[in-house]
Chain A
Amino acid sequence: MSERIIIRGGRIIDPANGVDVVGNVVIEDGRVVSAGGSATGAGREIDARGLIVAPGFVDLHAHLRDPGLEYKEDIESGTRAAARGGFTTVCAMPNTEPPMDNRSIVEYVLREAAARASVRVLPIGAVSKGRAGKELAELGDLAAAGCVGFSDDGAPVAETTLMRRALEYASIFGLPVIDHCEDKSLAQDAVMHEGWVSTRLGLRAAPAAAEIAAVARDVALAEAAGAHVHIAHVSTRGAIDEIRRARARGVRVTAEVTPHHLTLTDEVVAFGCAGGDELLYDTNAKVNPPLRSQDDVDACVEALADGTVDCIATDHAPHAVIEKLCEFDEAAFGISGLETAFGLCMRLVHQNKISLETLIERMTIGPVRALGLDRQVPGIGTLAPGAPADIVLLDPAAEWVVEPERFASKGKNTPLAGVTLKGRVVATIAAGRIVHDETGVAVA
């Protein structure tokens, strides 16, 4: 913790402070001392010439599966995956076993994280007891224990009245409800997005309207309650239009989008990322919300670029091999996303759809502001003096091949296996500690 590190000669991008300069970052005692200034004195030297130096990424949406589902992931493996992906903060979703719907589970997670985590873990509490969608969980107690938001993610809050009360009640603590928007009656038995691909594959599908209707409902509830709703993993043009209109009239709605919804379409389910003619029924592309049409992907990218969507969140959803090596209908939903997030999103930069600065903003201060995380962790997502020394070193031009078997995550479930990504996380420093070093850049 007390080590002094000098990161020399990198291009420092700190969107929160409008910084984009070539220079040095000095950290000491787990905090940023300076970014962009001169660097003298002793300390471990890291040569960052030719690299980007940015605040560590913040993921508002990760399933660490701990407690109870450690065969899929645990706090140690999940946060190691985060570190490899450049994330220095991950928000842990509460669909654990038992669910994180009470203080004792939150305390367990924070205790495990303190002992074993590579990066910071911020817990998200359940909205309802047992995530059953019937009664409110003890949101006050969860907030007091350190939760940064509430969500029944994985399942929507189906009952409209409960959602209304959750929004109203959560506002006492100034915390958002993180909303998995899906009209389950419209998405009954669905395993993918409804469109020509689902027709081709003969798979039961959910229309985009299942998400749009839920977003419209919850935006209306948040507006009436004057409460903050954060739309998780938005994936449709229609839902984005709802969010854009709501923001324009001052509703407190924020939103996140996943790397896969920014880059992959439902065609990946049929043909894989390589895109042949052969039908694959790729269970690794089975995810909820499902991969959508190209038009939806375009809308997500536009919304990320113009700020309608605040941030990128991975929805990292690791699963065991056997949960994906089965019939498509039987396969679990989810993509193991922490370790591919940056490389995949860099596609948007290389295609000139967004700038590198915007991408970094949407992965650092963007998510921090969306959830107000700087109230819990002052300076998070920035390189301001005194901020936590959460730093990522990036090589935007380095190409690498996704090899799931080399993931730190226990979840090898990604449709990107074998795909070449351009843009790599070179090293990650969390609270002043080097937690990932891909190329030996930090080896003295």
Chain B
Amino acid sequence: MTTMRPPEARAADIPAPLAAPAAADGAWRRRHLLDLDDFTVDELDLVMRTADTMKEVLQREVPRVPALRGTTIVTLFYENSTRTRSSFELAGKVLGADVINVAAASSSVTKGESLVDTVKTLQAVGADVLVMRHSRSGAPYLAARTVECSVVNAGDGLHAHPTQGLLDLYTMRASLGDVRGKRVVIVGDILHSRVARSNLWSLTTLGAEVVLCAPPTLLPAGLGRGLEGKLPPVRVETDLDRAVEGADVVMALRMQLERMHGGFVPGAREYSRLYQVNAARLARAKPNALVMHPGPMNEGVEISHEVAHGLQSHVEEQVQNGVAVRMAVLWLITRNSTRQARAATKGAL
């Protein structure tokens, strides 16, 4: 049975609050974080409580704890990302880990090295955690099957972005408390959104009422069709005015420019007219409804400038919470790393 208390040898290094989130026994057994689709209520709760502790650490005068001293985290990014990569890097460093950043463009990937070989190499040089961003859905699953070290999915293709889902949840809970019964409206390009996909799982698992709003051209197949057990239970609306009615949270998704030219919608002008989160629409939501956006924002397209930076906007808070949530994830995930297995791998070299 897993306990959340770190090994005795390291306990002395760790400031008391960090050892605190004493989980229900066995609540955390993961070596990888790939998606939120199979997370239990207890697991989500544990991440949230651990993130509270991490947030406290971040507010200290010297925000450093040696909880992950001796741990090597490699961020392997096959796609550009400013906020996610730097957020993970900072999270690792606050916890005292060594963080190595590998941008796939500057690695041997451009020489045609396969994903399997790349992750094996990174494991062989000593990675304990691989934080991976990839343009192809499922790539972290292949990595997780290939290596003994932990794999954290930092976004894979159109599929999942679990730490974003967790930080969104954390942000919602900070303002709303429990999300059960709360209405969360996610509007925009659901089809191409890994953020939306991960959010669907965590929110519906916790009993939130999720409304998706998008033109049918930007909705993936099957959602809202009563396929419970196969897909998260959601309501689908194509009319944004109706969708935001009574919402507790309105989350706008980035509308990428290439979709405008890809024939999914006629163009930015019409898209913003039909699907922009603006003041008039926000007025239909609950008073003080949270406005969220995973970023980067196209202001004036999916969200108006005034709403993006208005009183109800929690966009910056999302980014801040990102560090705490990723600290929590890194800390939890390394509880169950298989040190012996990795030692064996290293010894073989």
Are B138 and A203 in touch, CB under 8 angstroms? yes
Taken residue by residue from 228 to 241, chain B's Cβ proximity to chain A (1 for < 8 Å, 0 otherwise) reads as 00110000000000
Report chain B residues within 8 Å CB of A322: 114
Report chain B residues within 8 Å CB of A205: 221
Given A200-B230, A279-B141, A329 and B136 contact (CB-CB distance below 8 Å): yes
| B222 lies within 8 A of chain A by Cβ | yes
- Residue of A207, A277, A327, A330 ringed by the most chain B CB atoms within 10 A: A327
Interchain CA distance A222-B137 in the complex, whole Å: 40
Report chain B residues within 8 Å CB of A201: 137-138, 159
Report chain A residues within 8 Å CB of B220: 198-199
Given A325-B116, A326-B115, A202 and B230 contact (CB-CB distance below 8 Å): no
Are A202 and B231 in touch, CB under 8 angstroms? no
Are A326 and B141 in touch, CB under 8 angstroms? no
Are B137 and A328 in touch, CB under 8 angstroms? yes
Q: Which residues B90-113 have CB closer than 8 A to chain A? A: none
Which residue of the partner chain B has the closest CB to A330?
A: B136
Are A202 and B223 in touch, CB under 8 angstroms? no
Q: Which of B134, B156, B157, B221 meets A196, CB within 8 Å?
A: B221
Report chain A residues within 8 Å CB of B37: 200, 279
Are B158 and A279 in touch, CB under 8 angstroms? no
Which residue of the partner chain A has the closest CB to B197?
A: A202
Which residue of the partner chain A has the closest CB to B262?
A: A188
| B325 lies within 8 A of chain A by Cβ | no
Please report A residues at the B interface, Cβ cutoff 8 Å.
194-196, 198-205, 207, 277, 279-281, 322, 325-330
Report chain A residues within 8 Å CB of B137: 201-203, 281, 328-329
Interchain CA distance A325-B139 in the complex, whole Å: 11
Interchain CA distance A194-B116 in the complex, whole Å: 27
Given A326-B115, A327-B115, A199 and B157 contact (CB-CB distance below 8 Å): no
| B142 lies within 8 A of chain A by Cβ | yes
How far is the CB of B112 from the nearest CB of chain A, in Å?
A: 11
16 of the cross-chain contacts (CB-CB < 8 Å) are A195-B221, A196-B222, A199-B220, A199-B221, A200-B230, A201-B137, A204-B158, A205-B221, A279-B35, A279-B37, A279-B141, A281-B141, A281-B142, A322-B114, A327-B115, A328-B138
Which residue of the partner chain A has the closest CB to B222?
A: A196
Which residue of the partner chain A has the closest CB to B220?
A: A199
- Residue of A195, A196, A207 ringed by the most chain B CB atoms within 10 A: A196
Are A327 and B139 in touch, CB under 8 angstroms? yes
Interchain CA distance A29-B58 in the complex, whole Å: 87
Question: Closest 3 interchain pairs by CB?
Answer: A202-B159, A281-B138, A196-B222
Interchain CA distance A270-B344 in the complex, whole Å: 31
Interchain CA distance A329-B142 in the complex, whole Å: 12
Which residue of the partner chain B has the closest CB to A327?
A: B136
Report chain A residues within 8 Å CB of B160: 202
With A199-B223, A329-B157 given, name 13 new contacts (CB 8 A).
A195-B222, A196-B222, A199-B231, A200-B230, A202-B157, A203-B137, A203-B157, A205-B221, A279-B34, A281-B138, A281-B141, A325-B116, A327-B138
Interchain CA distance A207-B222 in the complex, whole Å: 12
Which residue of the partner chain A has the closest CB to B136?
A: A327
Report chain A residues within 8 Å CB of B139: 327
Taken residue by residue from 31 to 64, chain B's Cβ proximity to chain A (1 for < 8 Å, 0 otherwise) reads as 0001101100000000000000000000000000
Taken residue by residue from 196 to 238, chain B's Cβ proximity to chain A (1 for < 8 Å, 0 otherwise) reads as 0100000000000000000000001111010100110000000
Report chain B residues within 8 Å CB of A202: 137-138, 156-160, 194, 197
Are A327 and B194 in touch, CB under 8 angstroms? no
Which residue of the partner chain B has the closest CB to A269?
A: B138
Interchain CA distance A198-B197 in the complex, whole Å: 12
Interchain CA distance A202-B38 in the complex, whole Å: 16
Which residue of the partner chain A has the closest CB to B145?
A: A280
Are B158 and A203 in touch, CB under 8 angstroms? yes
Interchain CA distance A281-B160 in the complex, whole Å: 13
Which residue of the partner chain B has the closest CB to A194?
A: B221
Interchain CA distance A279-B37 in the complex, whole Å: 10
Report chain A residues within 8 Å CB of B156: 202
Given A201-B137, A281-B137, A325 and B221 contact (CB-CB distance below 8 Å): no
Interchain CA distance A203-B159 in the complex, whole Å: 7
Which residue of the partner chain B has the closest CB to A267?
A: B230
Are B114 and A277 in touch, CB under 8 angstroms? no
Which residue of the partner chain B has the closest CB to A277?
A: B38
Interchain CA distance A327-B157 in the complex, whole Å: 11
Interchain CA distance A325-B136 in the complex, whole Å: 14
Which residue of the partner chain A has the closest CB to B35?
A: A279
How far is the CB of A268 from the nearest CB of chain B, in Å?
A: 14
Q: Which of B116, B157, B159, B231 meets A326, CB within 8 Å?
A: B116
Interchain CA distance A390-B156 in the complex, whole Å: 51
Interchain CA distance A322-B142 in the complex, whole Å: 13
Report chain B residues within 8 Å CB of A281: 137-138, 141-142
Are A198 and B138 in touch, CB under 8 angstroms? no
Report chain B residues within 8 Å CB of A330: 136
How far is the CB of A324 from the nearest CB of chain B, in Å?
A: 11
Interchain CA distance A202-B136 in the complex, whole Å: 9
How far is the CB of A212 from the nearest CB of chain B, in Å?
A: 16
Report chain A residues within 8 Å CB of B159: 201-203
Report chain A residues within 8 Å CB of B225: 196
Interchain CA distance A140-B38 in the complex, whole Å: 59
Are B142 and A326 in touch, CB under 8 angstroms? yes
Report chain B residues within 8 Å CB of A328: 136-138
How far is the CB of A207 from the nearest CB of chain B, in Å?
A: 8
Report chain A residues within 8 Å CB of B142: 281, 326-327
Interchain CA distance A102-B331 in the complex, whole Å: 63
Are B141 and A280 in touch, CB under 8 angstroms? yes
Are A325 and B114 in touch, CB under 8 angstroms? yes
How far is the CB of B229 from the nearest CB of chain A, in Å?
A: 10
Interchain CA distance A203-B38 in the complex, whole Å: 19
Interchain CA distance A280-B145 in the complex, whole Å: 9
How far is the CB of A237 from the nearest CB of chain B, in Å?
A: 16
Interchain CA distance A198-B231 in the complex, whole Å: 11
Which residue of the partner chain A has the closest CB to B38?
A: A277
Report chain A residues within 8 Å CB of B230: 196, 200
Taken residue by residue from 134 to 157, chain B's Cβ proximity to chain A (1 for < 8 Å, 0 otherwise) reads as 101111011000000000000011
